[in-house]
């Protein structure tokens, strides 16, 4: 069997090494930061992109800050000498925010404004696909992040169908602008487990919503990634690749564990440093797969620069 390979022109890094960090990296109990939301990060962003390029990656996942224009972002990417890989859109359930939006109302139309923005960003940078996920929420309305991660906590079939309907509407918004959406499974959302993923695909047609799996989040939710890739090969668009500490993942399922606790315990690892057989995952991709492989480590296990370099070493050993 030939060695699993990656196309150089279809591999990118999502630079979460610099984004999802602790306020004090030396203190595991310090606050979690999400640097994209920090206005000051705009001035650090060029340095992060330069580090991605220096690590060896030819492309970075599209993430336009809310504090910059499309033109400003385009100049920044050009200055870094990077190509762009598809971005990420999400759609939440209004009821999770104590909101009720009736079909046809102005409020419901506006619920999809951020999705329209993602379509505009994608078209501006000539990207034709996008990762589409349910919202990762925080607080009392989101037990899958706050209380029990990766086990399908608080399952409700009717709520799942409402989430699927919103995903379908979001995919339709994107499709109208020429952007093909793929379902992006994410631990902590209302579409987390294998039965929930399968329910999406049973409900929404392949020409509306493809599959853009996160391999690490499949494994964390105890889903066989190879079986999932093979079962939905006809839908497959792009994928996210990461590795996991399988013992931490299993412990988080065995005992109710918040998402951030598992993250702090080190569930996320750079490719090749955890227990997922990522070469088998690559080998399971459909023959002639031409989608993007976006490498991401939701929380780096080392210094961000060292983490990006470790990710590239893993990729480089598998370049076609």
Q: What is the mean pLDDT of the chain?
A: 96
Residue 278 has pLDDT above 90, yes or no: yes
Residue 14 three-state SS: strand
Is position 2 within any domain? no
Is position 28 within any domain? yes
What does the pLDDT read at residue 107? 95
Residue 47 has pLDDT above 60, yes or no: yes
Instruction: Give the number of domains in the chain.
Output: 1
Is position 86 within any domain? yes
Q: Residue 204 to residues 23, 121, 122: CA-CA distances in angstroms? A: 41, 25, 23
Residue 306 has pLDDT above 50, yes or no: yes
Axis crossing angle, helix 113-124 with helix 70-80, rounded to the nearest 10: 40
Pairing of strands 11-14, 20-22: unpaired
Domain containing 29 — which CATH number? 3.20.20.150
Residue 288: how many other CB atoms lie within 10 Å: 5
What does the pLDDT read at residue 1? 47
pTM over 0.95: yes
CA distance 14 to 297: 8
Is position 248 within any domain? yes
Is position 1 within any domain? no
Can you give the residue range of the structural domain that contains 176?
8-316
Q: What are phi and psi of 57, to 5 degrees?
A: -70, 135
What does the pLDDT read at residue 3? 62
CA distance 26 to 222: 31
Q: DSSP class of residue 2?
A: P
Q: What are phi and psi of 58, to 5 degrees?
A: -85, -15
What does the pLDDT read at residue 2? 54
Written as six digits, the tokens of 68 are: 């910059």
Q: Write the pLDDT tens digit of every residue in 68-83.
A: 999 999 999 999 999 9
Is position 85 within any domain? yes
Lowest mean pLDDT among 27-41, 149-163, 222-236: 27-41
Residue 244 three-state SS: strand
Is position 264 within any domain? yes
Query: 315: which residues sit within 8 A by CB, 6+ positions away?
Result: 6, 11, 56, 57, 271, 295
CA distance 318 to 154: 40
CA distance 249 to 237: 26
CB 251 within 8 A of CB 307: no
What does the pLDDT read at residue 73? 98
CB 86 within 8 A of CB 131: yes
Residue 192 has pLDDT above 70, yes or no: yes
Q: Taking the alpha carbons of 133, 139, 145, 147 in that order, is the dihedral positive or negative?
A: negative
What does the pLDDT read at residue 29? 84
Q: DSSP class of residue 97?
A: G
The secondary element (H helix, E strand) that includes residue 134 is strand 129-134
Q: Residue 309 to residues 9, 51, 167, 204, 214: CA-CA distances in angstroms? A: 18, 9, 35, 39, 21
Pairing of strands 20-22, 32-34: antiparallel
Is position 3 within any domain? no
CA distance 98 to 190: 16
């Amino acid at each position: 069997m030939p060695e699993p390979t990656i196309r150089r022109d279809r591999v990118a890094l999502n630079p979460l090494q610099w984004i999802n960090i602790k306020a004090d990296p030396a203190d595991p109990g310090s606050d979690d930061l999400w640097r994209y939301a920090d206005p000051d990060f705009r001035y650090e962003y060029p340095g992060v992109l330069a580090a991605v390029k220096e690590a060896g990656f030819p492309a970075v996942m599209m993430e336009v800050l809310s504090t910059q224009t499309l033109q400003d972002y385009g100049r920044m990417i050009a200055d870094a000498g990077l190509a762009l890989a598809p971005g990420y859109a999400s759609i939440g359930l209004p009821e999770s925010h104590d909101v009720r939006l009736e079909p046809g109302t102005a409020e419901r139309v506006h619920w999809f404004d951020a999705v329209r923005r993602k379509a505009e960003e994608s078209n501006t940078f000539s990207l034709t696909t996008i990762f589409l996920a349910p919202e990762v929420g925080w607080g009392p309305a989101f037990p899958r992040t706050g209380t029990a991660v990766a086990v399908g906590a608080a399952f409700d079939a009717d709520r799942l169908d409402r989430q699927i309907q919103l995903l379908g509407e979001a995919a339709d918004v994107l499709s109208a602008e020429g952007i093909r959406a793929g379902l992006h499974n994410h631990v902590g959302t209302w579409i987390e487990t294998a039965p929930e993923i399968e329910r999406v695909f049973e409900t929404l047609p392949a020409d509306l919503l493809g599959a853009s799996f996160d391999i690490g989040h499949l494994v964390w939710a105890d889903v066989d990634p190879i079986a999932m890739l093979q079962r939905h090969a006809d839908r497959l668009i792009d994928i996210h690749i990461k590795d996991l500490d399988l013992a931490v993942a299993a412990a988080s399922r065995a005992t109710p564990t918040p998402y951030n606790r598992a993250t702090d315990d080190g569930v996320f690892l750079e490719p090749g440093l955890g227990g997922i057989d990522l070469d088998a995952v690559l080998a399971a991709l459909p023959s002639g797969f031409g989608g993007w492989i976006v490498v991401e480590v939701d929380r780096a296990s080392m210094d961000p620069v060292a983490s990006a370099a470790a990710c590239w070493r893993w990729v480089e050993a598998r370049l076609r």
